[in-house]
Amino acid sequence: MKIQTLFALWLTCFTTTIYGQRVDYAQDIIDTLCSDYYDGRGYVNMGDIKAATFISNEFKALHVQPAYKTGYFHSFGLDVNTFPGVVNISRSEAGRRPVQAGHDFIVASNCSSKSVESATLMAASNEVLGSRKTFKKLKKTDWSTTNTGNRNILLIDTLRDDKTIQKRLDKVLKRYSGDIKFQTQEKLTWSVGRTQTEQCVVHTKPGVFQSGDQVAIDIEAKFVENYRTWNVVGLIAGSERSDSFIFVTGHYDHLGRMGQQVIMPGANDNASGIAMMLDLANYYAQNRPRYTVVFVAFAGEEAGLVGSYHFVKQLKKVIPDPTRIRFVLNMDLMGSGQDGIMAVNGAVHTKEYELLSKINEENGYLPVTKKRGNSSNSDHYFFTQIGVPAFFFYLMGPYTHYHDVEDTSENLRLEKKAYDGAFNLLRTFADALMGG
């Protein structure tokens, strides 16, 4: 066997091992951050703080330096509505399966506590609204609220695809005085509430509840003022131009718990982005970058980009001259890639976008790169508002679970080819921006 062949063989083994470790490492991070211990990285049981601590420990292990004299954490406060106790709806009809929180229904994230011993659901369906007789009967329903005895609750179960139906539903809603409303929805998509309202909407999958169903409702909500949470910030000093900066960012928070039974783990959103960020930190810890690379794991993104808003407000504490920031690579939804990558704000910074697409074409990392205009839908946004150039990257593919109980690490298994492609594309792009 010729020495070159031996060398080629050794090289193949070597790169296979490295790449194997790479995707395994990322999957490991996702599995960890999505485990029950982290409570969906929200505000119940301090899931966010536990996740921030995990990330800071990972930084430490990778020799990423703390960005502040006090350490890795940048603390800020936010008002947030939480569901730490019971969130339960039961149906009294015998013989039907129990209603499952998270799968069959979710409560709107701004709900206040509700306790209803017994209520009858009255459906505003196409069928009911379509007939003058049943519509009139529904309109005249007694909607008065009481916690003792039985009361009536409206179940909106129509697509409003017809003008008459829409008009009639509006008339019913105008007269509706109940503080709880059921509404059917094909896809249950949860969020983080920043306020608490008297009216509570219960979103349910079609077919779960029917008109005439007797239900009991128990919702424990707790509004927390000025909850303290933490961004996690670290850096690897540049070898040649340490006063120039590349930012690699992603949010680690997710929606947390909806009661004791339901966790929203947020595997794709955005344990996957944190996995990619830590993997890039891992890479740069071993391959010293030319510029200083700053890694930020943001909190409070799902509550409305709160973490990145506060971070950018105090940016000068970390970077006294923000014009030294060459670029921000923000990653949110990094779990797929089989259908390529999107650069949000790519249509604004065309030179950098062309660089990205050229690197991809030359190396065949991902099937396609795409660009969009700017949008206030992830943590890159407040950087762009002070003139710091930034892309928000998300990967595209068949994975569709989003803000629900299905976005789990069991469902999100990274595909090696797509993951490696995305990693290598982002890494090569960052190196090119640093003039490497």
| C-beta separation of 55 from 297 below 8 A | yes
Q: Which two tokens stand for residue 393?
A: 């990257």
Q: Which is nearer to Zn ion, 178 or 266 (CB)?
A: 266
Task: For the CB of residue 276, give the shortest distance to Zn ion in the complex, in Å.
Answer: 13
* Dihedral over Cα of 201, 205, 209, 211: its sign: positive
Nearer Cβ to Zn ion (259/307): 307
Residue-by-residue DSSP string for 155-171: EEE----SHHHHHHHHH
Residues that bind Zn ion (CB under 5 A): 269-270, 332
Query: Between 54 and 245, whose beta carbon lies closer to Zn ion?
Result: 54
Q: Give whichever of 62 and 329 is closer to Zn ion, judged by the CB atom.
A: 329
Token couple for 7: 């060398």
Q: Name the nearest CA neighbour of 194 among 227, 230, 229, 231.
A: 227
Task: Report, in Å, the least distance between residue 301 CB and Zn ion.
Answer: 6
Distance CA 52, CA 300 (A): 12
User: CA-CA distance, 415 to 32, in Å (whole number)?
Assistant: 18
Count how many Cα atoms sit within 13 Å of the Cα of residue 317 in the half-sphere of its side chain.
15
Nearest residue to Zn ion on Cβ basis: 269
Query: What minimum distance in Å lies between the beta carbon of 263 and Zn ion?
Result: 16
Report in angstroms how near the CB of residue 365 gets to Zn ion at its nearest: 23
Residues 6+ apart with CB under 8 A from 367: 338, 339, 340
CB-based contacts of 253, cutoff 8 Å, min separation 6: 41, 42, 48, 51, 229, 298, 299, 300, 301, 302, 303, 307
- Kindly tell me which of 45 and 270 has the beta carbon lying closer to Zn ion: 270
CB of 398 to Zn ion, least distance (A): 18
Phi, psi (rounded to 5 degrees) for 406: -90, -10
Q: State the DSSP code for 375.
A: -
Sequential DSSP letters for 181-220:
EEEE-SS-----BSS-BS-EEEEE-TTSS-TT-EEEEEE-
To Zn ion, the closest distance from the beta carbon of 426 in angstroms equals 17
C-beta of 332 vs 352, nearer to Zn ion: 332
Closer CB to Zn ion, 289 or 300, in the complex: 300
**Which CB, 176 or 298, lies closer to Zn ion?**
298
Antiparallel, parallel or unpaired: β 114-125 and 241-251: unpaired
**Residue 258 CB, nearest distance to Zn ion (Å)?**
17
For strand 390-395 and strand 291-298, is the pairing parallel, antiparallel, or unpaired? unpaired
Q: How far is the CB of 332 from Zn ion (least distance, A)?
A: 4
**Based on CB atoms, which residue is closest to Zn ion, 104 or 269?**
269
Phi, psi angles (nearest 5°) of residue 212: 95, -10
As measured in angstroms, the least distance from the Cβ of 269 to Zn ion is: 4
